[in-house]
Structure formats: structure tokens, C-alpha cells
Amino acid sequence: MKANGHWDDGNPIVLKRGHSIKELVKEAHDTAVSKGWWDSAPSFGEIIALIHSEASEALEDYRIGSLPSEAWYEKKMEGGQTVRISPPSTGPAWKPCGIPSELADIVIRVMDACGHYGIDLEQAIAEKMAYNATRPQRHGGKVL
């Protein structure tokens, strides 16, 4: 994305980690495959339900009082006890939790699905954002 909010023509979007969206889609899908999530390929409906379940988990965190930007980390200890700490985490053994983590899970599941179906997510995002920029204020007028 350019400084003025418009997409570059044809240049890959590079995120903080130095990966383009296309590279992250491949990484997300490769990880899911390596962890066995595609051994028995889920249906498209199941994939959408799993994406939806991550959104529901974010909503549940909000309903119990978590702020949208609040993050914490958990680690299961020997004996089954779970320890919870606030950022920063102390390494990969600590599970990221909270609304930011659930929103990340949504994106990761979307990228995994795109990797499986061969969808160019980077192009789809650029096209949709360009279209959305042409829409009228509060198009549709529906109330939440």
C-alpha cells in the first residue's frame, strides 16, 4: 500500500515480516498440510465454519471483557495447570491469546483456504479495496 492509501500497480504487498501476501498464503497452507489438516480434506462449508468459529472466539473474548487490543500468553505446565502472562511473551512455547490472536487465526484460515483452492488473495484484496473505494458513504445503509 502506498502512503496515500492506494495500491501499487502489480508490486507485491510486503508485510512487516518481509513476506508478500502470496508468500504468507503459501506458508499458511504448507503449515496446515504439514500438521495434518488436509489429510482428509474438509468441505468448503467446513472451511467457512472454521473461519466463522475463529470470529466467534474473538466475540467470546470481547463478551468476557477483553479489549480488542488486549493480548496475553498462556502456557500449560506439568500437571495441567495453565499459566497466563501479559506481553511480551517469553518464546514460542507460550500460546498467544486474545482478540488480536483470534483475528490472526481468521486471516490464517482464510490464507490456508486460498492456498488450497489456488486463490490469489493478494489480487482479490487489491481488487476489492479498489472497488470499495468507489462505493458511496455507508453503502447499503444497514444498521448493525
pLDDT at 3: 37
Q: Residues of the chain with pLDDT > 90: what percent?
A: 67
Residue 6 pLDDT more than 50? no
The rounded distance, in Å, linking the Cα atoms of 111 and 25 is 5
The more confidently predicted of residues 136 and 105 is 105
Beta bridge partners of 37: none
The rounded distance, in Å, linking the Cα atoms of 72 and 86 is 4
Residue 132 pLDDT more than 70? yes
Residue 2 pLDDT more than 80? no
pLDDT at 5: 39
Mean pLDDT of 95-122: 97
Whole-model pTM: value is 0.82
Residue 10 pLDDT more than 60? no
Residue 89 pLDDT more than 80? no
The 10s digit of each residue's pLDDT in 25-49 is 999 999 999 999 999 999 999 999 9
Instruction: Return mean pLDDT, the chain.
Output: 87
User: Three-state SS for 133?
Assistant: coil
The more confidently predicted of residues 1 and 21 is 21
Concatenated DSSP letters of 32-97: HHHTTTTTTPPPHHHHHHHHHHHHHHHHHHHHTT--TT-EEEEEEPTTS-EEEEPSSP-STTSEEE
Please check whether residue 113 is in contact with residue 119, taking contact to mean a CB–CB distance below 8 angstroms.
Answer: yes
The rounded distance, in Å, linking the Cα atoms of 121 and 19 is 14
